[in-house]
Structure 1
Amino acid sequence: MRVRGFGELEAVVMDRVWAREGATTVREIFDELAEHRDIAYTTVMSTMDNLHRKGWLAREKAGKAFRYWPTLTREEHSANLMRDAFDGGGRTDVVLAHFVDRMSDEESASLRAALQRLSPVEDAG
């Protein structure tokens, strides 16, 4: 799985961090990853440190280790990627039309519901 803006391992780590509630440690992420792949603890530690330096993860000292948490939710990150696509994709109206045209019925219904929530309520009086 590749999440735009992240390297392959960074995307896997961010996916695991986003899936957790609250802060996590390198050990906890390492233990999850080691169940599915051959990986070194120091590789996970370096990756999480890199994500911290890039601003994707915040951290605080907890004993000898750090506890990490994401600085953005997965949804906020996705919204930023969508914003980037609009900014760099040519005419926004055409990009948006192509995007909407490729939506499933469920996604289209979700978009309509989100737009209704965000639209200002008209005064009836």
Structure 2
Amino acid sequence: MAESPEGSLTPAQFEILQLLWEAERGLSAAEIWEAIRENRDVSRTTISNLVDRLEKRNWLVRSKEDGVFRYVPSIDREVAEGKLAAEFVGDFFNGSAANIVLSLLGSNQISTTELQRLKAILNESKSRKK
């Protein structure tokens, strides 16, 4: 069984994972670089270094296909987002999910649609716990 990913992610590393979650058969470092440089100026070396670090920390799995290394995430998007959210809440909101929601409500960062979605999620969670 593969080891769990280590550490947290920078926004640039998370951007790489987002690309890979969307790719059906993974991407090479060059393909990752090409996709990212469409939106911002970044060197190929920078992307290669980020990919290498992600692989060493078990966020990515590498396989060789037709002489090219292809990378895929070692973890599902939902699991990764949950891990990152838990770390964020722990680091900045004393481990309280309620505190982060209250902060968002107080800053008007949650739309009516998102509030309805949160209510539905809470109701579903309550039903599962009964």
TM-score tier, shorter chain, comes to: 0.5 to 0.7
In 2, the alpha carbon distance for the partners of 1:114 and 1:70 equals 27
* TM-fit CA distance, 1:68: 0.8
Q: Please point out which of 105, 116, 128 is paired with 1:109.
A: 116
* TM-fit CA distance, 1:60: 1.6
Check if 1:12 corresponds to 2:15.
yes
RMSD: 2.9
Check if 1:31 corresponds to 2:34.
yes
In 2, the alpha carbon distance for the partners of 1:69 and 1:82 equals 21
1:24 is paired with a residue whose SS is coil
Point out where structure 1 has 5 or more consecutive residues left out of the alignment. Answer: none
Worse overlay, 61-70 or 97-106:
97-106
Report the count of equivalent residues: 118
**Structure 1 residues 78 and 8: CA distance shift in structure 2, 3 A:** closer
2:34 is paired with a residue whose SS is helix
Check if 1:95 corresponds to 2:102.
no
* TM-fit CA distance, 1:39: 4.3
Q: Work out which structure has the larger RCO, using CA pairs closer than 8 Å and 6 or more positions apart in sequence.
A: 2
In 1, the alpha carbon distance for the partners of 2:57 and 2:96 equals 28
State the AA in 2 paired with 1:120.
Answer: R
Check if 1:84 corresponds to 2:91.
no
Deviations 1:78-109 (A, max 9, x none): 22222123334226265155146252211121
In 2, the alpha carbon distance for the partners of 1:59 and 1:25 equals 9
1:58 is paired with a residue whose SS is strand
Worse overlay, 88-97 or 77-86:
88-97
Q: Is the 8 A contact 1:59 1:67 kept in 2?
A: yes
In 1, the alpha carbon distance for the partners of 2:28 and 2:13 equals 15
In 2, the alpha carbon distance for the partners of 1:120 and 1:37 equals 44
Q: TM-score, normalised by structure 1?
A: 0.68
Aligned residues with identical type, % of pairs: 24
State the AA in 1 paired with 2:118.
Answer: L
**Structure 1 residues 120 and 32: CA distance shift in structure 2, 3 A:** closer
Point out where structure 2 has 5 or more consecutive residues left out of the alignment. Answer: 1-7
